[in-house]
Structure 1
Amino acid sequence: MLIAKGDLVNIRELRWGDLKYLQKWSNDPEVAFWARGVKDVSYTSAGEFRRWYYSRSNSSIKRFIVETKDKKPIGSISYRDYDPVNKVVVLGIHIGEKEYWGKGFGTDAIKAFVKYLFATLDINRIELDTFDDNIRAIKAYQKCGFKIEGVLREARFIDGKFHDVIIMGMIRKDFEKIANRTQI
């Protein structure tokens, strides 16, 4: 089922057949590095990946597929840790097909997903984090209206050195200002 539409992408519910894409992207060291700051995650078989994925399915993560307008899956987007008291969710995204990097597909997916989240969940805030070397992601988040709210100094150990974690957020009234200006 389609949940959101952007100019370049559609976002739809995850289907059983999509696990092969998630496994492929998880096994790509470059994709895994920019998505999670790790290079050595490897799921050797489809069965092993399914077991790992479904062991997490009872968690608070709600994952969706990002696909091109011609229905090619290129990544996933998710929210987690929905807090109905404080009205907050945490956003996550990765574009797994590298030929779509740097071409606006991730930014388009974020804009469409943020609009969906504010429209369907009773939330006031969306937050996320990334590490300091992920400049492409930070710029995409800023284009979508996220603001840098803080830095956790040397909070991740990646590739043999410590990195700062950049905390970013968007609140409903900022989203509404952007939506009224640009009609997203």
Structure 2
Amino acid sequence: MPFSKKSAVTFLDVAAIPDEIQWRILEWRNSDFVRSQMLRQHLISQEEHGAWLAGQRSGAGGTRCRVAHVDDKPFGVVSLNHIDMRAGNSDWGMYIGEKEFLGKGLGKVLLAEILRWGFEETDLQRLYTSVLATNAQALDLYLKAGFIQEGRWRKHVLCETGERRDLLWIGMLRDEWEAEKSRILQWALSR
């Protein structure tokens, strides 16, 4: 199925999608090109993934995940992690799992969904995440969306190669989202 800039992107809660797609997420997450950019780079077992899915279905654990689809084909994941409603903040994550969808501007769409979901639907006050300092493409994407680099943890991540990498922390506040929302959404749709 050819992808075009006019293709519709939709997001479905992981608990509401077929089992086949729920387990495809494990394949994506364990793929070398996704795993190599993660804070935790170990191969996730079926048992670990099954426990995570059970948490998604029950609503326990403070993490919510949605699967992104283009014209009904699943291709990636967005998540709100460690949701703290009392403090009004959440860590977040995202990745494209299907290689055919890389380089098509969909990272901007995923990021815009995280911001809309976090600030508008979940009513959070702050969204934050970490990114490996070596992942210049992701960092550039996040900064263009309006995130602010807030810190650096030097040599924090031990990669499977034995190399240690710096971890950068970025964040955005609700009032920053509200001030930049129109620009961010227009930017995200300019894929």
Q: TM-score range by the shorter chain?
A: 0.7 to 0.9
Question: How much has 1:37 moved relative to structure 2?
Answer: 5.0
Aligned residues: 174
**Residue of structure 2 in register with 1:12 after alignment:** 12
Question: How much has 1:82 moved relative to structure 2?
Answer: 1.5
Identity %: 23
Question: How much has 1:34 moved relative to structure 2?
Answer: 1.9
The unaligned stretches of length 5 or more in structure 1 are 1-5
Write the distance in 2 (CA, Å) between the matches of 1:137 and 1:102.
12
AA in 2 matched with 1:80:
N
1:32-181 equivalences under 5 Å are 32-36=35-39, 38=41, 40-41=42-43, 43=45, 48=47, 51-54=50-53, 56-57=55-56, 58-68=60-70, 70-158=71-159, 159-181=161-183
Question: How much has 1:84 moved relative to structure 2?
Answer: 2.1
Change (3 A) 1:182 1:170: closer
Change (3 A) 1:131 1:106: same
Superimposed CA distance per residue, residues 2-41 of structure 1 (whole angstroms, 9 cap, x where no aligned partner): xxxx986221211242213212212312221123452x50
Local SS of the residue matching 2:36: helix
AA in 1 matched with 2:94:
I
Write the distance in 2 (CA, Å) between the matches of 1:34 and 1:53.
20
Write the distance in 1 (CA, Å) between the matches of 2:133 and 2:100.
23
Does structure 2 conserve the Cα–Cα contact (< 8 Å) formed by 1:118 and 1:172? yes
Change (3 A) 1:7 1:153: farther
Does structure 2 conserve the Cα–Cα contact (< 8 Å) formed by 1:77 and 1:92? yes
Question: How much has 1:122 moved relative to structure 2?
Answer: 2.6
AA in 2 matched with 1:126:
L
Change (3 A) 1:182 1:34: closer
The unaligned stretches of length 5 or more in structure 2 are 1-5, 187-191
Change (3 A) 1:110 1:19: same
Write the distance in 2 (CA, Å) between the matches of 1:54 and 1:182.
31
Superimposed CA distance per residue, residues 34-56 of structure 1 (whole angstroms, 9 cap, x where no aligned partner): 23452x5054xxx6465343365
Could you state the TM-score of these two structures normalised by the residue count of structure 2? 0.80
Does structure 1 conserve the Cα–Cα contact (< 8 Å) formed by 2:80 and 2:114? no
Does structure 2 conserve the Cα–Cα contact (< 8 Å) formed by 1:83 and 1:89? yes
